[in-house]
Amino acid sequence: MIKPRTPAGVLELLPPDQIAFQRMLDVVRRNFERFGFLPVETPVMELSEVLLTKSGGETERQVYFVQSTGALEKASDDTPELALRFDLTVPLARFVAEHEHDLAFPFRRYQMQRVYRGERQQRGRFREFYQCDIDVIGKDSLSVRFDAELPAVIHALFSELDIGAFTIHLNNRKLMRGFFQQQGVIDPAMQALVLREVDKLDKRGADYVREVLAGDVFGLPHGVVDRILDFVRIRSTSHADALASLDRLVNGERGAVNASLAEGVAELRDVLELVRAMGVPESAYALNLSIARGLDYYTGTVYETTLDAYPQIGSICSGGRYEDLASHYTKSKLPGVGISIGLTRLFWQLREAGLLGTASSTVHVLVTQMDASHLPHCLRVASELRHAGFNTEVVMEPSKIAKQFRYADRAGIRFVLVLGDDEIATGKVTVKDLRREDQFQVERADLAAALRVELAQPAGVP
């Protein structure tokens, strides 16, 4: 006898949680599609040579390698031929480069699949998790206007997920680079180090960060340190405030504004105006000049999204603009902009925070059975309900009626149908509504219509 168990670091859900998770996946997909993104799925296994284009990065990325029985027997010392994807970005790059001549650009794609990372074992860290990504990929160039669509998707999606107020934070890497250059911090690596210290503001406080930046290691003048701290504290409170902050950046500085800063400000201004034109309310987005994100990857607009009441959860949806998606695979220049949601982790965090209510079952109706001889009749009624679009389960083996009700209650099934001798003789059905703790009788022919009225047509029921 072998103990049944899953490997460490995976999240396996029982049906009630799986239903809740599946509903989140459905909301994400519906909103991705609503904005015109097209579905792509890639194989979970990629050729190692194709996946691991940057030598030496394997360990960092904690890659899982795959070998079939035959390959294992060969016991070669080489890197195994296959590896599991560790994100959806490298597979997207491979996909777009491979199918370049079959795709229409700008190419809007969504992808919602699991990725694999051999993370150190830790609570809330997963080795297998869903990523839900959208990207717009241009050929040769891609207007900054596309950067404005993604906050609109984020807004629509998280509004429908209904997990509380959220803020989409916007920044721009060109703006940041220009600002740091203006302060005499020219080297990108040094900029990254400074930002890492600045990131400790919340935890360690301003005095600590000021001391480090002005200290021996960084040796920045006090005036520069103050300007950096003022800069990263800029968070807009409204659309007008965001525009005013941007104005101050280009008009407030003594001397000439450098090209990178000016370009970043102009891009952010365009993006903010279009985000508003797309109907995203001012309360849902903000300029936040502390947002940096993957410094070696993003080159323009960057996004993070936080839940207003749960800042400790961190960013629930991030991304940005990059210059060249697939330079390892093609000479074509493929700039893009994208965002990613780590849905497994988000689900886990929402559940931990008690933010997930009890999901109702996918089953709308349970048809009970009083007597084995009634089964054909019960099956016919169930068949009618299914044709009318209701997810219907039939009790196939008679048991005590109380037990059947208890089952429906525990499973979160709202409507329980009773078809006793009386009901069958009179062509009627007794419906118990477990949510309203109510019951009523209808003609069998009117049953679907009656249930539809009760449900007031929620999603999933025609």
Q: Which of residues 61-90 bind a copy of itself (CB under 8 A)?
A: 62-70, 72, 75, 77, 80-82, 84
At 31, is the secondary structure helix, strand, or coil?
A: helix
Residues between 335 and 374 that touch a copy of itself (CB under 8 A): 361-363, 366
Q: By three-state DSSP, how is residue 146 classified? A: helix
Q: By CB under 8 A, is residue 125 in contact with a copy of itself?
A: no
Span of 218-226, 252-260, 283-291, 328-336 interacting with a copy of itself by CB under 8 A: 328-336
Dist CA 34 CA 37 (whole Å): 7
Contacting residue, 181, 262, 407, 442, with a copy of itself by CB under 8 A? 407
Rg of the chain in Å (alpha carbons)? 28
Q: 52: helix, coil or strand?
A: coil
Q: 41 to each of 27, 95, 180, 205, how far by Cα in Å?
A: 18, 10, 40, 45
- Give the Cα separation of 158 and 307 in Å (integer): 10
Among 152, 175, 176, 370, the residue binding a copy of itself under the rule CB under 8 A is 152
Buried b (16+ CB within 10 A) or exposed e, 267-291: bbbbbbebbbeeebebebbbbbbbb
Check residue 273 for interaction with a copy of itself (CB under 8 A): yes
The answer to whether residue 6 forms part of the interface with a copy of itself (CB under 8 A) is yes
Among 55, 56, 74, 102, binds a copy of itself (CB under 8 A): 102
* Contact residue for a copy of itself among 103, 313, 355, 359 (CB under 8 A): 103
DSSP string, 370-404: SSGGGHHHHHHHHHHHHHTT--EEE--S---HHHH
Q: At 237, list the tokens.
A: 């409170």
Strands 298-307, 166-172: pairing is antiparallel
Contacts of 352 (CB under 8 A, 6+ apart): 124
Nearest residue (CB) to a copy of itself, 3 versus 254 = 3
**120 vs 203, which CB is nearer to a copy of itself?**
120
Pick one of 125, 204, 248, 380: the residue that binds a copy of itself (CB under 8 A).
380
**Which residue, 324 or 393, is less far from a copy of itself as judged by CB?**
393
Which residue from 50, 201, 243, 313 is in contact with a copy of itself, where contact means CB under 8 A?
Answer: 50
Decide if residue 18 touches a copy of itself (CB under 8 A).
Answer: yes
Task: Find the binder of a copy of itself among 134, 146, 163, 236 (CB under 8 A).
Answer: 146
CB of 197 to a copy of itself, least distance (A): 31
Return all residues near 230 (Cβ < 8 A) that are at least 6 apart.
none
Contact string (CB under 8 A) for a copy of itself, positions 181-220, x = contact = ----------------------------------------
312 binds a copy of itself (CB under 8 A): no
CA distances for 455 relative to 78, 171, 236, 365, angstroms: 60, 44, 42, 11
- Is position 149 an interface residue for a copy of itself (rule: CB under 8 A)? yes
Closest CB to a copy of itself among residues 40, 307: 40
Residue 133 makes contact with a copy of itself by CB under 8 A: no
